[in-house]
Amino acid sequence: MKIKAAADEFLTSRRIAVTGVSRTPGSHGGNVVYRRLRERGYEVFAVNPNADTVEGDPAYPQLSSIPGGVDAVVVATAPRHADATVRDACELGITRIWMHRSVDAGSVSDTATQYGRQHGATVIDGGCPLMFGPASDGGHKVMCRVLMLFGRVPRQV
């Protein structure tokens, strides 16, 4: 599936968990994604096992603790945590998973990507949901084109 189609499908989700959001937000990628999705009308859930609140909202220790579940998850943790998150998502029936990556290593784990796809999930292994559709802005769109050239945003998932 081409990245645009996968991104469009992901962004049809209304309830999205963002893992790896920080208690001290600054410009942490997970927090930027969390805030923008919330501003754009998505129902977002912060996942951080070490926080009670993030960005003024309740935080949840794991995906399974979110009341009513979610339709999709953005993984914005270190790659070493992505495998467990993707396993948890698949066990919960979450089939839309986005592993965030910008100019740095991001959250992409090859083993997590393979596991998710083998278990029926659409796994976007790089880039950012803010580069596409209703969540995007001009800066993220330009960044998407540049990062696609360097393989940080996949063309196919």
Which pair of tokens denotes residue 104? 């740095």
Cα distance between residue 81 and residue 40, in whole Å: 27
Domains of the chain: 3-149 (3.40.50.720)
Cα distance between residue 46 and residue 36, in whole Å: 13
Which pair of tokens denotes residue 6? 């996968």
Please indicate, yes or no, whether the overall pTM of this predicted structure exceeds 0.85: yes
CB 110 within 8 A of CB 154: no
The string of pLDDT tens digits covering residues 92-120 is 999 999 999 876 768 999 999 999 999 99
CB 121 within 8 A of CB 6: no
The string of pLDDT tens digits covering residues 28-76 is 789 999 999 999 999 999 999 999 999 899 999 999 999 999 999 999 9
